[in-house]
Amino acid sequence: MNSKNTASDLALVAVFAALTAVCSWISVPLPGGVPITLQTFAVLAAGLILGPWRGFLALMLYLLVGAAGLPVFAGFKAGINLSSPSVGFLLFFPVATLICGALARLVARRGWKGQAIWMGIAAFIGSTFLYIPGLTGMIIINKLEVWAAIAMIPTFLPGDLIKVVLAAAVAVAVRKAFPALLFGHKYRAAAA
């Protein structure tokens, strides 16, 4: 493995961790304790652009930096609060990125036509996945009935759909400019 490639991969991981932090600071509080933020956009974009593992690492770095005490979470908060209603969303950001990245890489490898649509589908699946641990956290922390938590989905859905479209559009534009980026340094070296 080339140290230059490793350094560039680490830089990309750090950039997307920082992007997630910046996106978390744009926050609209909602009843129930889970704010609307742009974090999901960064989570999806990291997977679609960096691929599964570098995207996963970017979101793990984001969580570690926040857990270490830097104010990178929504509302400029630091520390992972296990009694927060948003903890289910937060802790599963890396997994959602992994899912998005794996689907994006599959689409790119197969060379399927309509990349924007396929990237949008990958982002939608990753975003939808977050509802499972996110709503579970809300149910446990807020002591909600399952149906009450499910009834909150329409509150999040319009914004999430916008973030899905934006993440897919950005990913397609970045992939046009840097086609090998999704595959990491091994592919870039082979393509050179």
Residue 189: which pLDDT band, with cuts at 50, 70 and 90? very low
How far, in Å, CA of 36 to CA of 188, rounded? 37
Query: pLDDT tens digits, residue range 112-156?
Result: 788 899 999 999 999 999 999 999 999 999 999 999 989 989 989
Q: How far is CA 104 from CA 60, 61, 77, 100, 129, in A?
A: 19, 21, 31, 6, 15
Residue type, 146: V
Asked if 165 and 120 touch (Cβ cutoff 8 Å), the reply is yes
Lookup result for tokens 């399952």: 146
pTM: 0.89
* pLDDT reported for residue 47: 96
Mean pLDDT computed over 80-87: 90
Domains for the chain: give ranges and CATH numbers.
3-191 (1.10.1760.20)
Count Cβ atoms within 10 A of the Cβ of residue 134 and give its class: 0-12 exposed, 13-18 middle, 19 or more buried.
buried
